[in-house]
Amino acid sequence: MKALAVGRPAPSYVVQVCAGTCESCGENTVRFGSVVLSQYGDEALIEVLGQDNTNAQGFMLWPDSQGNVWRFAMASADPATGSSYDQTLDINSNANVQLNTWTQLTASYNAATGQLNLYVNGALAGTGQHKPFSSAAGSFAIGRGQNGGNKNVNYFNGSISNVSATTGAITPGVNTCAIAVSSATTKCLDNNVGGTSPGNPVQIWDCNNSNPQQWAFNPDGTLRVNGGCLDTVNEGTQNNTLVQYATCAPGVASQQWFPRGNGSIYNPASGRCLDDPAGNIASGTRPQLYDCNGTPSQRWTVTSG
């Protein structure tokens, strides 16, 4: 397998692996076909797959024994001792490790948006953000890790099959979708009357499967509807900044929205999440930016339209 240059601004990539009794697994991006974890063993960290660097691996996929969940990480530095990684911290129940069971793992990194995505058996399980620092051009390491330059560490306890890697990131979500407030699944994110003038209000409204409620997460990080993009008023980044419809424009940071593993929709320009103010589900309520807090007001359910 060709080694990937991890940490560069480009290209995006996906890795896939299978673990368990799987004959063949999934698609290829950076994917872990299938994996079966028999036990965690004595080491604090055991790895399924990584890519060697000078001191520590440029990326890695592993079962986290602290939370009994699968995680994907990319290096933010290559220290002589210890490690420094950006990882999939925003997770859901799909990330739970099942011992002695074949599991398909797919890890995807989008260089354009910096988003890390981990899929378990085809379902989004975890997300994170990565800021490139350099590239790791070493060999792929299957079933072991690297620490302080030592490559004889963190051995995986189990079986691994069908490891593959291709360029091109996977975008979470579906091509066209309704986005419902999880605290009230009959209420959806809505572009008021389908208006296409910049500044048209975006609101909470009864779910009705109409075009103003058919949103699309795009590979460039934008969230689109009716030919335009979700944006913040005056490109604001502060708490309580309302969102609106706007003309899509390359490089506008306030138009970047990433669905995360915990159900939130994250705006990296502000470091905040899309929020239903005070959990108000009355039709006409305007969503806003607010500090990410994991409450039902910030959990959104994405479903095909």
DSSP states of 89-142 as a string? -EE-GGGB--TTS-EEEEEEEETTTTEEEEEETTEEEEEEE------B-S-EEE
Q: Which whole number is the average pLDDT over 70-85? A: 89
pLDDT value, residue 195: 98
CATH code for position 112:
2.60.120.200
Q: Please check whether residues 71 and 184 belong to one and the same domain.
A: no
User: What is the predicted pLDDT for the residue at 292?
Assistant: 97
Same structural domain, 206 and 72: no
Weakest-pLDDT range from 13-17, 120-124, 252-256, 273-277: 13-17
Per-residue pLDDT tens for 80-131? Answer: 888 889 999 999 999 999 888 888 888 888 887 888 989 998 888 999 998 8
Domain contains 8: no
How many domains are there within the chain?
A: 2
Residue 1 lies in a domain: no
Q: Are residues 138 and 213 in the same domain?
A: no
pTM of the predicted structure, to 2 decimals = 0.75
Q: Are residues 296 and 181 in the same domain?
A: yes
The confidence score (pLDDT) of residue 29 equals 42
Range of the domain at 106: 13-167
User: Tokens 């969102």 belong to which residue?
Assistant: 243
Last residue of a domain, one of 122, 144, 167: 167
Assess whether 123 and 189 both reside in one domain: no
pLDDT digits (tens, 9 = 90+) for 12-32: 445 555 543 222 223 334 444
Residue 5 within any structural domain of the chain: no
Q: Specify if 298 maps to a domain.
A: yes
